[in-house]
Structure formats: structure tokens, C-alpha cells
């Protein structure tokens, strides 16, 4: 699918921007329906912004360090998933079924991308 390792960073970075936008601008307006407190959503929106910076930096300046950088973003993505689950369980009494569905779908997508990044980093090593 992706021929050059640096394009993975572009794909991941664009996904992080989308996640930040959805979480920080869109979902906060649905707090009453999702049950996820806005302060949690803002935290979960800020982190993808930082990951996007990492991705775009790696895309432009990664050169021959793609293996390490791919492993790095994969670990950071999985860390984001763990933090999302932790925050969700911290507020489990407030979160609605729709909120849980959103969190689970996002975690599935990000985890899948992270495992792909790990696999790709092994192939190019």
C-alpha cells in the first residue's frame, strides 16, 4: 500500500489531525450525548496534535532513521490508546454507550495502525 516509509508518517499525521479535530472541536459539542467530559476530550485532542508534529517532522526530516521513528510513533500511538482507556474507565459512570462505541472504534483504528507501523519497521530494518 505505502511504497516509501516516510509516507506512513504523512498518513499517521493526517489521522492524528483528524482525531484532534473530531475530539477537540466536534465531540465536545456532544458531551451530553456521549457522556465524555469536555476536559477529557480536550486532553485527548491535545495529544494527537503533538503526535502530528512528530509525524510531520519525521516525514520531512526522518531521512534514514525510518525504522526507529516508525517504532517511536507506534509506541506513542499505543500509549495514546492506553491513556484513552484509562481516562474512559476513570469516567465510566458518566460515559454513555455511544461514548464507549466512539472510544473503542478509535482505539481499534489506532491500534491497527500502530501494529502496521511495527510490522513495516521490521520489514525495512
The percentage of the chain sitting over the pLDDT mark of 70, rounded to a whole number, equals 98
Q: Provide the mean pLDDT of the chain.
A: 95
Question: Where are the alpha helices (H) located in 1-96, listed in sequence order?
Answer: 5-21, 31-34, 38-61, 66-90
On the 0-12 / 13-18 / 19+ scale of CB atoms within 10 A, 4 is exposed
The pLDDT score that the predictor gives to residue 117 is: 95
The pLDDT score that the predictor gives to residue 51 is: 98
Q: State the pTM of this model.
A: 0.93
For residues 118-123, average pLDDT: 92
Do residues 43 and 87 make contact, with C-beta atoms less than 8 angstroms apart? yes
The percentage of the chain sitting over the pLDDT mark of 90, rounded to a whole number, equals 90
Amino acid at each position: 500500500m505505502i511504497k516509501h516509509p516516510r509516507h506512513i508518517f504523512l498518513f499517521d499525521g493526517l489521522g492524528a489531525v483528524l482525531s484532534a479535530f473530531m475530539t477537540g472541536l466536534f465531540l465536545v459539542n456532544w458531551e451530553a450525548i456521549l457522556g465524555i467530559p469536555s476536559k477529557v476530550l480536550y486532553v485527548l485532542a491535545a495529544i494527537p496534535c503533538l503526535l502530528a508534529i512528530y509525524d510531520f517532522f519525521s516525514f520531512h526530516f526522518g531521512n534514514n532513521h525510518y525504522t526507529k521513528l516508525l517504532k517511536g510513533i507506534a509506541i506513542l500511538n499505543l500509549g495514546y490508546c492506553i491513556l484513552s482507556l484509562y481516562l474512559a474507565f476513570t469516567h465510566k459512570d458518566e460515559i454513555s454507550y455511544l461514548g464507549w462505541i466512539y472510544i473503542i472504534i478509535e482505539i481499534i483504528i489506532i491500534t491497527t495502525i500502530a501494529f502496521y507501523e511495527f510490522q513495516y519497521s521490521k520489514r525495512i530494518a
